[in-house]
DNA sequence: ACCTGAACACCGTTCAAGT
DNA sequence: ACCTGAACACCGTTCAAGT
């Protein structure tokens, strides 16, 4: 069989199989030959649909971004911007922790991925509507992204070993109980995420009040970052 | 030449060469053969000093962690915890942006890397000394890490293309100026980082006041996360 | 103990050949 | 247009052989 009358492959089928493989085996488990085998074709066939393996992984990452709920940013649902950011962050993090192995790819940046851009667009638009200056709205999209991807990528607790002898008090005077962290991994990561998210939103609240109070004095315009590259 | 009287290699030499290679070519530029060639030996020689290539990369990441300034956490330098966290975050970020290609490895978590653990230890110790409950001190170390590594990993602006036609208003109604971001990349990332850091510290300040006010009521103990796995 | 070359079991990608 | 097998230039790692 050289060419079937009905194509055996499609971008969607490839992305679906690649996602399953990434979830099951991690990024290292994905080779073009392995993926092709999973799809019942030979390795080079994939190159009729994607230019590189990396493009396939980008598509997998984008499929995860597409699962992030953005409905809280809808114009007139009566939600406050802080509440919307909060809910979005939870949905964002949930999407990532459901597919942890692809996070390194996704964390590289929103890039050209359509779903990633849709996220950036929604956040930026909602913040501007809420009264944030465009420059700040851009920053908020970026910094929230930093925090959420950072938390999904580097489970803090996962790094600690479940071995009391691993942390010599002479080297790490305050890590006496560190070996216990291995057990409490998830709880610590979630606590840190919640604490950080609350801090972020409270802190943005402070800045929001300041911005609202002096909405755009010319003196400020001179000392501030500059007109404001949009967005997002 | 089979075995020289003086070893040709050492862990330090290997890490040094690997760091240079990572900086110059990125992670993909590092192969064991390439690295060995740079050191004037054959590929398998490396395995006398490291068990795997990944162990070499971990060591490179740890060398970067070792450059993070921790002196602001020294017991009696009169600094306030917020100021210390702020200065540390800047130093942390600076270390990472100087070696951007290794960040994905470093962001995986502090793991067993000695310098990474030293960082965790210093932050945890300083926060506890400042009056934070151990559980919260643990969270602070983790959430600061999320934010800093996330910002170093995923340059938000870098993701946007310098092409006005790339962002169809029908798809992304608020991304009209997105193509300008490519130009302002660094400024946006720095603005987002500063804005986020300030928000984080302000927000933690709010939580600090709350914790200080009610230092450990039994009612709180029941509703709060739980005793507190240390640290760090 | 520490280096070597040869070898194993893989890679991503290109390309001419098939229909 | 879409798949194939063969091939190219790589990989990380193991291992027996050398000193």
User: What is the token pair recorded at A166?
Assistant: 């691993």
- Partner residue opposite A172 with nearest CB, options B107, B121, B167: B121
Handedness of CA B101, B102, B103, B107 (dihedral sign): positive
- Residue B148 placed within a domain: yes
* B201 and B105 assigned to the same domain: yes
Name every chain A residue with its beta carbon within 8 A of the beta carbon of B135.
191
pLDDT tops 70 at residue B12: yes
pLDDT, tens digit, 9 for 90 and up, residues B169-204? 888 888 777 776 666 778 889 999 999 999 999 999
- Partner residue opposite A189 with nearest CB, options B142, B149, B230: B142
Q: What is the CATH number of the domain that holds B42?
A: 1.10.10.60
* A18 and A82 assigned to the same domain: no
**Chain A 186-215 residues in 7 Å CB range of strand C:** none
- Residue A5 placed within a domain: no
Q: Is the CB of B7 under 7 A from strand C?
A: yes
Neighbours of B49 (CB within 10 A): 17
- Residue B63 placed within a domain: no
What does the DSSP 8-state code read for residue A49? T
* B158 and B101 assigned to the same domain: yes
The pLDDT value recorded for residue A9 is 96
The pLDDT value recorded for residue B226 is 40
The pLDDT value recorded for residue B169 is 86
Buried b (16+ CB within 10 A) or exposed e, B147-161: bbbbbbbbbbbbbbe
Q: What is the CATH number of the domain that holds B144?
A: 1.10.357.10
The pLDDT value recorded for residue A80 is 93
Which element (helix H / strand E) includes A65? helix A53-65
How many separate domains does chain A show?
Answer: 2
- Partner residue opposite B200 with nearest CB, options A116, A177, A200: A200
* B123 and B172 assigned to the same domain: yes
| Residue A117 structural domain | 68-222
The Cα–Cα gap between A143 and B47 comes to 41
Identify from B27, B151, B174 which residue to disrupt to test chain A contact, counting A C-beta atoms within 10 A and taking the largest count. Answer: B174
The Cα–Cα gap between A204 and A216 comes to 18
* A122 and A193 assigned to the same domain: yes
* A24 and A126 assigned to the same domain: no
* A114 and A190 assigned to the same domain: yes
Query: Cβ distance B144 to B200 under 8 Å?
Result: yes
The pLDDT value recorded for residue A167 is 83
- Residue B26 placed within a domain: yes
Contact B199 A198 (CB under 8 A): no
Neighbours of B58 (CB within 10 A): 21
pLDDT band with cut points at 50, 70 and 90 for residue A174:
confident
- Residue A62 placed within a domain: no
Vertex B21: Cα angle to B19 and B26 (nearest 5): 100
Q: Does residue B88 sit in helix, strand or coil?
A: helix
The shortest C-alpha distance from B31 to chain A (Å) reads: 15
- Residue B36 placed within a domain: yes
Query: Cβ distance A232 to A124 under 8 Å?
Result: yes
Contact A154 B108 (CB under 8 A): yes
- Residue B102 placed within a domain: yes
* A27 and A130 assigned to the same domain: no
* B30 and B84 assigned to the same domain: no
* A109 and A20 assigned to the same domain: no
- Residue A26 placed within a domain: yes
Mean per-residue pLDDT over chain A, rounded:
87
Q: Which is nearest to A120 in space by CA: B171, B199, B149?
A: B171
Query: Cβ distance B92 to B141 under 8 Å?
Result: no
The shortest C-alpha distance from B213 to chain A (Å) reads: 18
* B72 and B47 assigned to the same domain: no
* B210 and B141 assigned to the same domain: yes
């Amino acid at each position: 069989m050289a060419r079937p009358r009905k194509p055996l492959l499609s971008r969607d089928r490839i992305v679906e199989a690649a996602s399953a493989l990434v979830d099951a085996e991690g990024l290292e488990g994905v080779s073009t030959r392995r993926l092709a085998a999973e799809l019942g074709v030979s390795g080079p066939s994939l190159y009729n649909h994607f230019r590189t393996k990396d493009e396939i992984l980008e598509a997998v990452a984008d499929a995860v971004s597409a699962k992030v709920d953005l409905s809280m940013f809808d114009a007139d649902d009566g939600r406050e911007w802080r509440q919307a950011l909060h809910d979005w962050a939870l949905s964002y993090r949930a999407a990532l922790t459901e597919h942890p192995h692809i996070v390194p790819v996704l964390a590289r940046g929103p890039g050209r991925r359509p779903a990633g851009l849709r996220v950036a667009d929604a956040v930026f638009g909602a913040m501007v509507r809420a009264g944030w200056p465009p420059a700040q709205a851009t920053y908020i999209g970026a910094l929230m992204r930093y925090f959420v991807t950072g938390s999904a990528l580097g489970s803090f607790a996962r790094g600690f070993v479940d071995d009391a002898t691993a942390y010599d008090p002479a080297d790490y005077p305050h890590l006496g109980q560190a070996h216990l962290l291995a057990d409490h991994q998830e709880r610590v990561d979630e606590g840190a995420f919640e604490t950080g998210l609350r801090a972020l939103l409270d802190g943005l609240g402070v800045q929001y009040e300041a911005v609202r109070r002096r909405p755009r004095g010319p003196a400020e315009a001179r000392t501030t970052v500059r007109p404001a590259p949009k967005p997002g």
